[in-house]
Chain A
C-alpha cells in the first residue's frame, strides 16, 4: 500500500507525465475500492465479475482525472464515482428495451410530473404543460413518452446464472395472484363483469381466469400485446370506477 502523501505525489507526477506505468501503479493501489463496491452490489441479478469490471473501469477513469491539489482525498473522490457507474450499469442492464440513459432519465421525470399534475388537477397534462413544468423541449417529452411503452412479456431477457441464457420476461415475473382477488366484494365485481361487452369479457376471461399472458391473448385475438395491455387497463379502470 502506498501512503496518502506518496500517492498524492504520484498523482501529481502522473498529471505531469501521463506515464501509463505510474497510472497502473495507482490503479493497483486502489483496486480494493472497486472490489469492495462490486461486492456490495453483487447478488442482485448481475454477476460479480461484471460489476468488478465496471468498477475497475470507473477507477481507471477516476485515477486519470484526479487532481490532489483540489483538496479532496482520492478515496473520498472515487467512492461516489464508482458507485454511480455501478448504478448506471444496473439501470441499463435491468431494462429489457435499451434506451439512451438521458432519455430514460427524462422519461422518469415525465412520469413523476404527470402523476403530480394528475394529483393536483385531476386530469392528465398535455405535452406543452409537461414541457413548461420540466423546462424541457416538447420534442424531448414526446420521445420520452415512448420509453414507457409496455414491453412484450415474450421479450427475451438475459439472465445471469451458471451460464448466461435468455428467458421470456413472463418467466421472470413472480405471480402475486390476480389483481381481482384483491377486491373484497367479489359478488359486486361479478355483477360488474357481467355488464362488460363480449369482447371485454373475453379479455378478462383469457387474462385473469385462464392466466394467459398479454402476448398470448394478443395472438388469440389477433391484436398486438400493446393493444391488449391498453384494453386491459381500460377495463380495469372501468371496473374500479364502478366499484369504488
Chain B
C-alpha cells in the first residue's frame, strides 16, 4: 500500500472522526483485530492532541501498511513551545506495540506509532 497522507488544522476537532475512520481503514487493510485497531485510533488522535498542546496549528498524518501499520504524525506551523505531555506519552506507548517520539529543544515535533 502506498503512503496515505492526511493534513488538517488542529483547531477543527470535527476532523478527528475522519482521522479515526482513516486509521481504522488502514488497520483493516492489514487485517488487524478491532481491539488493537481501536487502541491505534485512540493513539493517532491523541498524538494530534499532543502536537496541539505543543503549539502546532496543523498536523500531518502519514499512514503506511507494509509489514506493520505505521502512522507518522508531524506538527506543522503555529508557535511551537515545550509542553507537559508525560502522561499522554506514557499511555500512547502502552497502547501501541512501538512508539517513537521526536523532540527538538524540548518540543515534541513528531510521533510515530507502530502496530
Asked whether A223 lies within 8 Å of B49 as measured between CB atoms, the reply is yes
State A124–B28 Cα separation when bound (angstroms). 13
Asked whether B91 lies within 8 Å of A227 as measured between CB atoms, the reply is yes
Asked whether B95 lies within 8 Å of A221 as measured between CB atoms, the reply is no
Within 8 A of A (CB), among B18-33: 20-21, 24-25, 27-28, 31-33
Asked whether A230 lies within 8 Å of B45 as measured between CB atoms, the reply is no
Q: 10 tightest CB-CB pairs across the interface, nearest first?
A: A127-B28, A124-B35, A124-B33, A199-B90, A126-B31, A221-B87, A142-B24, A230-B42, A223-B88, A231-B91
Is the C-beta of A172 less than 8 angstroms from some C-beta in chain B? no
Is the C-beta of B85 less than 8 angstroms from some C-beta in chain A? yes
Residues of A whose CB lies within 8 Å of any CB of B are 114, 123-128, 130, 138-139, 141-143, 145-146, 149, 197, 199, 202, 221-224, 226-227, 230-231, 234
Asked whether B85 lies within 8 Å of A222 as measured between CB atoms, the reply is yes
Smallest Cβ-Cβ distance to B22: which chain A residue: A142
| Residue numbers in A under 8 Å from B33 (CB-CB) | 123-126
Prevailing SS type, chain B contact patch: helix
Asked whether B38 lies within 8 Å of A224 as measured between CB atoms, the reply is no
Using A124-B33, A222-B85, A234-B95 as known contacts, say yes or no to A142 and B90 having CB atoms under 8 A apart: no
| Residue numbers in A under 8 Å from B94 (CB-CB) | 231, 234
State A127–B23 Cα separation when bound (angstroms). 13
| Residue numbers in A under 8 Å from B21 (CB-CB) | 142-143, 146
Minimum Cβ distance to chain B for residue A155 (Å):
13
Proximity bits, B81-115, A CB within 8 Å = 1, else 0: 00011111011001100000000000000000000
Minimum Cβ distance to chain A for residue B70 (Å):
18
State A103–B2 Cα separation when bound (angstroms). 29
| Residue numbers in B under 8 Å from A202 (CB-CB) | 87
Residues of B whose CB lies within 8 Å of any CB of A are 17, 20-21, 24-25, 27-28, 31-39, 42, 45-46, 49, 53, 84-88, 90-91, 94-95
Using A123-B33, A125-B33, A223-B49 as known contacts, say yes or no to A146 and B20 having CB atoms under 8 A apart: yes
| Residue numbers in A under 8 Å from B35 (CB-CB) | 124
Asked whether B28 lies within 8 Å of A126 as measured between CB atoms, the reply is yes
State A156–B21 Cα separation when bound (angstroms). 24
Minimum Cβ distance to chain A for residue B36 (Å):
8
Smallest Cβ-Cβ distance to B42: which chain A residue: A230
| Residue numbers in B under 8 Å from A223 (CB-CB) | 46, 49, 87-88, 91
State A125–B53 Cα separation when bound (angstroms). 35
| Residue numbers in A under 8 Å from B87 (CB-CB) | 199, 202, 221-223
Asked whether A114 lies within 8 Å of B34 as measured between CB atoms, the reply is yes
Asked whether A126 lies within 8 Å of B88 as measured between CB atoms, the reply is no
State A238–B88 Cα separation when bound (angstroms). 19
Asked whether B34 lies within 8 Å of A197 as measured between CB atoms, the reply is no
State A139–B28 Cα separation when bound (angstroms). 9
Contact of A230 among B17, B20, B27, B95 (CB under 8 A): B95
Asked whether B39 lies within 8 Å of A146 as measured between CB atoms, the reply is no
